[in-house]
Structure 1
Amino acid sequence: MTIYAALADLSVEEVLARHQGEGFGPFKKALTEVVVNAIAPIAQETTRLMHDETHLANVLRSGAQRAQAIAEPIVSEAEKIVGFLK
């Protein structure tokens, strides 16, 4: 009920009222539709992004730059501690 309510932007009470008197089978079908409708745009965007090589290269480059900026002072300090010369 809470998954349905969250994905359909309804309260649990509204979901219960909507499906009152139904068995589990019809509710399960309705829940499946709500979940698929919520997830489909995410899957479409993921597929689009995975086929956009320029975007992927930019994301990887940006991530590498941020990781290097974070790691550089830590690695330098560790090298000083163990006596490596740079």
Structure 2
Amino acid sequence: MVSIKGIKANLEKIQAILDIELPRTVQDVQKLNGGVTALSRFIFRSGKRCLPFFKILRGEYPTWNDDCRQPFESLKRYLLLPPL
């Protein structure tokens, strides 16, 4: 949000990012990948950040594990940072 005081984050958008839950099904992972793909031009090294999510879809990871949780939390933190 742009105002006289400068640029501020929209609290509703931040809350939406914070409310993203861990994917529990293959369809949830597909939705996550679709959302990241739509935003990929705004996410630095999106392919590297999201590689574990794509590995789940390819069958390299049989289930959601800590190798996926850490990149998921990292992606959420990255999306909350203001652009430089």
TM-score normalised per structure 2: 0.31
TM-score normalised per structure 1: 0.30
Determine which structure has the larger strand proportion and give its number: 2
Larger of the two Rg values belongs to structure: 1
Looking at both structures, which has the greater relative contact order when contacts are Cα pairs under 8 Å and sequence separation is at least 6? Answer: 2
